[in-house]
Amino acid sequence: MRRAVKHSLPRRLPLERYVEGVLAGDRTTLARAITLVESDLAADAALAAPLLDRLLPHAGNSRRVGITGIPGAGKSTFIDTLGMHLIHECGENVAVLSVDPSSPISGGSILGDKTRMERLAVEDRAFIRPSPARGHLGGVARRTRETILLCEAAGYRNILVETVGVGQSETAVRSMTDFFLLLMLAGAGDELQGMKRGIIEMLDGMAINKADGDGKQKAERARSEYASALHLFPATADGWTPRVLTCSSLNGEGIAEIWRMVLEHRELVESNGYLAKRRSRQALDWMNEIVMLGLEQSFREDQAVAARLPLLRQQVRDGNVTPFAAGRELLGLLHSQAHSPDE
Ligand SMILES: Nc1nc2c(ncn2[C@@H]2O[C@H](COP(=O)(O)OP(=O)(O)O)[C@@H](O)[C@H]2O)c(=O)[nH]1
Ligand SMILES: [Mg+2]
């Protein structure tokens, strides 16, 4: 069978085309800009950097909401319903960045997500971007921060970041959003759902989903249990007390209340200066992340390291070299390269 020859666009656009297209809210250009920013190729990175610099002054003006929860909690369905609420009840637009840690292997669950946002997917005022997580930070795409910025420059006023609650991903998403929401299931077990102390301290709100049909009473009971559990924690520095609500992403009950909570939180942290504080701390996190990513990449691409690594790994495995000595040696190789004058 012959493949249809696709009219092929140039791989990269001129910088101005990206800038103009994104600022005009052109979705195709926005999608291409995100692909550029996500790329590992040096030539793409060289173009992505000035693009981000140019767009930065146009970014920042959105509500960034992180949504986490175990697989099956209903995150995608919730976002579909919330997105429709934003568009049709609030007259707003919405960008959804859905990060799927399983996608690098299967590729399948991204499609699953897409079908679960099927109402939102056909809306002109919604932009949905699934991103492969590629193993980084246990479920947050490496360039989610940059992608948020691009969506903001394209005029999206609400950015919803969906991530599966696995370990580090909550911390990562918390560190790039203004409001962090945990979606829970009644009766699924606290440990399983990440109700460790660390998570609770990061939350701005919790929603018990699937409060419908037979699940309604259970959800209400869970709500009051979690609400009293949350009250055991000291009030956070921002002056906000995290709330627990119930909702049904299927029939839409409770969704408007959850959004009202997000808006109330927004009003508070805008007026008490905490939003600016949170974002400036996040800017520092972002810088650190860029440095760490760069170091990791240099390490991966370093030839002296690559030449030495297999043997050292073997020696560490066999117990002939200590991990400490091996680690130091590898870092030493990286440093000597970085400083060699004839590079
Ligand atoms: N009864 C009920 N089912 C829901 C609700 N929200 C999601 N679901 C179902 O739960 C399953 C998982 O939903 P999904 O959105 O894919 O969860 P995710 O893995 O957290 O993104 C799907 O079969 C949904 O139809 C809800 O509010 N009520
Ligand atoms: Mg999902």
For ligand 1, pick from 78, 98, 249 the residue to mutate: most ligand atoms within 8 Å of CB. Answer: 249
Question: Please, are residues 302 and 333 in contact by the beta-carbon 8 Å criterion?
Answer: yes
Q: What are the structural domains of the chain?
A: 9-58 (1.20.5.170), 60-272 (3.40.50.300), 287-339 (no CATH)
Q: Predicted confidence band at 23 (pLDDT cuts at 50, 70, 90)?
A: very high
Cβ–ligand 1 contact at 209 (below 6 Å): yes
List, as ranges, residues with CB under 5 A of the ion ligand 2.
75-76, 113
* Confidence (pLDDT) at 166: 58
Q: Which ligand is nearest to the CA of 73?
A: 1
Q: Predicted confidence band at 326 (pLDDT cuts at 50, 70, 90)?
A: very high
Which are the contacts of 302, defined by CB distance < 8 A and separation ≥ 6?
333, 334, 337
For range 47-60, the mean pLDDT: 96
Judged against a pLDDT cut of 60, whether residue 340 lies above it is answered with no
Alpha carbon separation from 29 to 45, 59, 77, 328 (Å, rounded)? 17, 16, 27, 44
Q: Whose alpha carbon is nearest atom 7 of ligand 1?
A: 74
State in Å, rounded, how far the first CA of the chain is from the last one: 50
Q: What is the pLDDT of residues 256-277, one digit of tens each?
A: 999 999 999 999 999 999 999 9
pTM recorded for the entire structure: 0.86
> Across the chain, what does the average pLDDT equal?
86
Q: What is the pLDDT of residues 147-158, one digit of tens each?
A: 999 999 999 999
- Backbone CA torsion sign across 24, 26, 31, 33: negative
Q: Between these two residues, 173 and 339, which has the higher pLDDT value?
A: 173
Q: What is the pLDDT of residues 131-189, one digit of tens each?
A: 765 554 444 556 889 999 999 999 999 999 998 765 667 778 888 999 999 999 998 77
* Confidence (pLDDT) at 193: 66
Cβ–ligand 1 contact at 81 (below 6 Å): no
Question: Please, are residues 181 and 207 in contact by the beta-carbon 8 Å criterion?
Answer: yes
Judged against a pLDDT cut of 60, whether residue 91 lies above it is answered with yes
Judged against a pLDDT cut of 90, whether residue 335 lies above it is answered with no
Percent of the chain with pLDDT over 90: 60
Give the distance (Å) from ligand 2 centre to CA of residue 74. Answer: 7
Alpha carbon separation from 305 to 80, 299, 308, 337 (Å, rounded)? 46, 7, 5, 10
For range 297-309, the mean pLDDT: 92
Please report, as a single letter, which amino acid is at residue 298: S
For range 290-312, the mean pLDDT: 90
Cβ–ligand 1 contact at 250 (below 6 Å): yes
Cβ–ligand 1 contact at 252 (below 6 Å): no
For range 115-139, the mean pLDDT: 76
Cβ–ligand 1 contact at 98 (below 6 Å): no
* Confidence (pLDDT) at 106: 39
Placement of tokens 């099956």 in the chain: 72
For range 196-219, the mean pLDDT: 88
* Confidence (pLDDT) at 231: 78
Judge residue 108's burial from the number of C-beta atoms within 10 Å of its C-beta, 0-12 exposed, 13-18 middle, 19 or more buried. exposed
- Backbone CA torsion sign across 148, 149, 151, 155: positive
